[in-house]
Amino acid sequence: MRLRTASVPPLVLAGGVLTVGVGALYLTGMVLTSGEIESGTTVRGVDIGGLSRTEAVRRLDAHLAAAGPRELTVRVGDRTATVDPRSAGIGFDAARTVDRAARNGSDPVGVVRGLFRTGGGDEEPVVRVDEAKTRATLEKLAKTLDQGVREGAVGFTGARVRQVAPRPGYTLDVDAAVGTLRASFLRGATGEVTDLPARETRPKVTEDEVRRAVRDFARPAVSAPVTLTADGRRLTVAPADLGEHLTMRPDGAGRLVPELDVRGLRAAPSVARPLAAVTTTPENAVLGLDGDRVVVA
């Protein structure tokens, strides 16, 4: 009886040889490294190559504390402040840094690759964050960095027009800012200002609306005396008197509209005396425009 011998496909056989070859290289690499940090490995310029984990942690503990930034400059909107990383619970973790450096050098790809190179390269240090301390620091910081929205406005001081520029409001996002502080500490760039994440509130009365209100109403209103009509007779009101009782308030759409304090204007001595001579019956005044002139009728 004749037996047939099954042939091994060349591709499978080649794959088997390749697998054995990589396995042999991996075992050789593990024997040569003997559990130490790969030669040439550095962390922020500190050489830990060839050291045991215990020795590497000890060396990094002695150097990393001085390698981190002493303070972080942060910003929300147009306000800035500084943060002490130590008080905020942020610092380098030497033990976890060494663990990562050793792990990167002990995985199969890293071990085999290490047989053909001369150094382990530079490892980024691991940043430790005590979230309770960091959040407490940020919540305290928010009291000085948060700012309410400021609406654009137009007002009067006598015959002078006052403009208030609008400004967005910002509320620090404490949850998101924890990660931002960590990243800023890791970068450690001296003089760098880090923008912390914040929720922005836009003003309803825009800068364009302020300019329009000043151009179309406020300046014409106090540019010259206005005419008050009562019982068919006329008297003039000085711009300074009108300005004292005139305001502009935003409507629901963010548009500034004029508002006149009629009672206050009527009670002003410069208006009440001549008005008493021409009428004895109180009448409501109406503010309006006559061409490019403002009139009170």
Question: Residue 247 sits in which domain range?
Answer: 207-296
As given in the structure block, the two tokens for residue 287 are 């503010």
The answer as to whether 291 is a domain residue is yes
Instruction: Give the C-alpha distances (Å, rounded to integers) separating 147 from 87, 103, 120, 173.
Output: 24, 46, 48, 13
- In 3D, which of 77, 206, 228 has the Cα closest to residue 152? 206
Q: Are 81 and 139 spatial neighbours (Cβ–Cβ below 8 Å)? A: no
Judged by DSSP in three states, 200 sits in strand
The answer as to whether 226 is a domain residue is yes
The answer as to whether 266 is a domain residue is yes
As given in the structure block, the two tokens for residue 192 are 């760098």
**Number of CB atoms found within 10 A of residue 98's CB:** 28
Q: What is the pTM of this model?
A: 0.66
What is the full per-residue pLDDT of the chain (297 aa) written as tens digits? 444 444 444 444 444 444 445 444 444 444 444 447 888 999 988 999 999 999 999 999 988 877 888 999 999 999 999 999 999 999 999 999 999 988 765 555 444 444 444 456 889 999 999 999 999 999 999 999 999 999 999 999 999 999 999 999 999 999 999 999 999 999 986 679 999 999 999 999 999 999 999 999 999 999 999 887 766 777 888 999 999 999 999 998 999 999 999 889 888 888 888 777 665 555 566 666 565 566 656
3-state helix, strand, coil in the chain (%, to 5): 40, 25, 30
The answer as to whether 231 is a domain residue is yes
The answer as to whether 118 is a domain residue is no
The answer as to whether 71 is a domain residue is no
Tally of structural domains, the chain: 1
DSSP calls for 38-93: PTTEEETTEE-TT--HHHHHHHHHHHHHHHS-S-EEEEETTEEEEE-TTTTTEEEE
Residue 67: per-residue pLDDT: 80
The answer as to whether 132 is a domain residue is no
The answer as to whether 274 is a domain residue is yes
